[in-house]
Amino acid sequence: MNLIFEIGKEGRGLSLLPKCDVPVTDLPENLKRQSELHLPQVSENEISRHYTKLAQRTHGVNKGFYPLGSCTMKYNPKVNEEMAALKGFRQVHPLQDESTVQGSLEVIKMTEDILSEILGMDAFTLQPAAGAHGEFTGLLLIKSYHTDRGDTKRTKIIVPDSAHGTNPASAAMCGYEVVSIPSAEDGCVDLDALRDAVGEDTAGLMLTNPNTVGLFDKNILEITKIVHEAGGLCYYDGANLNAVMGQARPGDMGFDCVHVNLHKTFSTPHGGGGPGSGPVGCKAFLQDFLPGARIKGNIEDGYYYEDSPKSMGSVKMFHGNFLVVVRALTYMLTLGKEGIPEASANAVLNANYMRVKLAKKYEMAYDTTCMHEFVMDLSELKHRTGVSALDVAKGLLDYGVHPPTMYFPLIVHEALMVEPCETEPREVMDEACDTLLELYDLAEKDPEWLHAAPHNAVIGRPDEVGAARKPVVKYTWE
Ligand SMILES: *Cc1c(COP(=O)(O)O)cnc(C)c1O
């Protein structure tokens, strides 16, 4: 397929630039372009066809099933987009006087308050732009707390091996030493290993719950107690709140701070690289350390900014990705108090529905009721037939299904991690299960076909490492 630069003809095209409404100034010579500016010269018709073709080559949640575990690829209601596109939200400037942006401040305050209610926290910041950014911010909260008390010997963060990969990375970026503890047989945190790991040098624990094998840790109260008794704080990675929202609250489980991904559970589209939002919530004793100016006030008397002298400073400019917040608030308000727990209940129901159907043939990494996702272990299949998790994933492409997450979490070899989400109808899940079961049989009957899959995709098996390490993102003119 040609790039946009390679279609069209000199002189063709359209210009819809608005009239210049500021005085024209001459730029200094050294700032002026020295070479010709190559812009695509295409008609509206050509542009439309070009992007439609691109869209047709892409698989998205609007096209078909997208069961990527850990990613929560739910369908995003279009009303969210309509709200985010309202001029009053789209065209405000963060430096406008408070009195002129009361509506936007109300959106922020309301979102912080609803998130606090859902997570069982006392305060929230909407500044972090992603989940990992939220983790970093949450760890800075923990660090600020210990430092403020003059407790400087706490240099370690404990991270169970079933945590999301960003957890240890964020702790290391924050200057902490990461102590990894193994999971027990049942996929939950090994309590004895945790007891051995905590001590006077423990700054805190980061727990992904449900963890990356889709299990809710049954010892959660004991876990937070052990860490607190050692003087550490507890951080809850709630990036995927899809099984938990409206059902249970990290704040009630003993956690001191938490992040959620608005671009997962709270329905902002993601997968194309942004913009995201990873709000961080905390208990009252940590709130003075939160980043940025806090929004105070209420609808009757108006909203205003207030700085905290103990704030860690800003982790992003102003209020983070504000329009993502508008989408999330729209989502939470349209679902409401009844809809939020209903959504999480359906997410868990759908995952278990698929898990039980697939367990007829596939081996489950943990054969127990899961939360919003489950992990299949294809090691035995690979050993017996030579067909790997990658081969099955590639085979799915020929059936129009986006593969589940592969080779994650790392503690399961040949892993396929499935997360259907609450928005999938039963027929779609039935069809995907039938396909996966058919591929299982194919692995036994015709492994070669699966080794060579996909047979009908535009791109088959690209050099993924090469694409990641040496991406070509710049167009070079001949
Ligand atoms: C996605 C995810 C993250 C990281 O979120 P990003 O927005 O990609 O930085 C962290 N933890 C868990 C459990 C996740 O699923």
b/e map of 426-453 (b: 16 or more CB within 10 Å)? eebbebbbebbeebbebbeeebebbbeb
Q: Are residues 91 and 199 in the same domain?
A: yes
C-beta of 209 in contact with ligand 1 (< 6 A): no
Inter-residue contact 283 to 257 (CB < 8 Å): yes
- On whether residue 475 sits in a domain, the answer given is no
Which residue's CA is the closest to the ligand 1 atom numbered 6? 131
Which residue, 117, 108, 409, 99, is CA-closest to 241? 117
pLDDT digit string, tens, across residues 217-254 = 999 999 999 999 999 999 999 999 999 999 999 999 99
Which segments within 213-335 are labelled E, that is strand?
A: 233-238, 257-260, 280-282, 294-298, 302-306
Distance 472 CA to ligand 1 centre (A): 26
Question: 239 CB under 6 A from ligand 1?
Answer: yes
Question: Are 330 and 352 contained in the same domain?
Answer: no
Angstrom distance (rounded) from CA 402 to CA 418: 11
Torsion of CA 420, 422, 423, 424, to 10 degrees: 40
Neighbours of 148 (CB within 10 A): 12
Amino acid identity, position 65? F
The pair of three-digit structure tokens given for residue 266, joined into one six-digit string:
């709270």
**Which amino acid, one-letter code, is at 132?**
A
* Residue 311 within a domain: yes
How many domains are contained in the chain?
A: 3
Predicted TM-score of the model (pTM): 0.91
Helix (H/G/I), strand (E/B), else coil: 183: strand
Cα angle 138-144-145, degrees, rounded to a multiple of 5: 95
| Shared-domain flag, residues 296 and 421 | no
- Domain end, chosen from 313, 335, 357, is at 335
Q: Which residue, 289, 277, 291, is CA-closest to 320? A: 277
Indicate whether 394 and 327 sit together in one domain: no
Q: What is the pLDDT of residues 66-99, one digit of tens each?
A: 999 888 999 999 999 999 999 999 999 999 999 9
**Statement to judge: residues 124 and 258 lie in one domain:** yes
If 0-12 CB within 10 Å is exposed, 13-18 middle and 19+ buried, where does residue 228 land? middle
Same domain, 115 and 242: yes
35 plus 163 within the same structural domain: no
Per-residue H/E/C for 47-60: HHHHHHHHHHCCCC
Q: Is residue 61 part of a domain?
A: no
Distance 113 CA to ligand 1 centre (A): 22
* 108 & 178 share domain: yes
Residues 306 and 353 in one domain: no
Domain with residue 326: its CATH number is 3.40.640.10
β-bridge mates for residue 202, sequence order = 156
Q: CA Rg, the chain, in Å?
A: 25
Instruction: Count how many residues are written for the chain.
Output: 478
Which domain does 28 fall in, by range? 4-56
Residue 132 alpha carbon, nearest atom of ligand 1: 9
User: H or E stretch including 384?
Assistant: helix 379-385
- Å from CA of 352 to ligand 1 middle: 22
CATH number at 383 reads 3.90.1150.10
Question: Which amino acid, residue 194?
Answer: L
How many angstroms separate the CA atoms of 63 and 90, rounded?
27
67 belongs to a structural domain: no
Which amino acid does the sequence have at 115?
L
Among 374, 396, 386, 373, which Cα is nearest to 455's?
A: 396
Nearest CA to ligand 1 atom 2: 239
Question: Three-class SS of residue 15?
Answer: coil
**Whether residues 318 and 367 fall in one domain:** no
- Residue 214 has a pLDDT of 87
Same domain, 122 and 206: yes
With CA atoms as reference, report the closest residue to 279 among 232, 242, 328. Answer: 328
Q: Is the CB of 435 under 6 A from ligand 1?
A: no
pLDDT tens for each residue of the chain, 478 residues long: 899 989 999 888 877 788 999 999 999 999 999 988 888 899 999 999 999 999 888 888 888 999 998 889 999 999 999 999 999 999 999 999 999 999 999 999 999 999 999 999 999 999 999 999 999 999 999 999 999 999 999 999 999 988 888 999 999 999 999 999 999 988 899 999 999 999 999 999 999 999 888 899 999 999 999 999 999 999 999 999 999 999 999 999 999 999 999 999 998 888 776 799 999 999 999 999 999 989 999 999 999 999 999 999 999 999 999 999 999 999 999 999 999 999 999 999 999 999 999 999 999 999 999 999 999 999 999 999 999 999 999 999 999 899 999 998 888 999 999 999 999 999 999 999 999 999 999 999 999 999 999 999 888 999 989 999 999 888 887 6
Contact assessment for residue 295 and residue 44, using Cβ atoms and an 8 Å cutoff: no
CA-166 nearest atom, ligand 1: 10
Q: Is 104 in the pocket of ligand 1 (CB under 6 A)?
A: no
Does residue 360 sit within a domain?
yes
Both 211 and 238 in one domain: the answer is: yes
Q: Whose CA is nearest to atom 14 of ligand 1?
A: 239
What six digits make up the tokens of 25?
A: 């100034």
CA distance 478 to 474: 13
Atom in ligand 1 nearest the alpha carbon of residue 72: 15
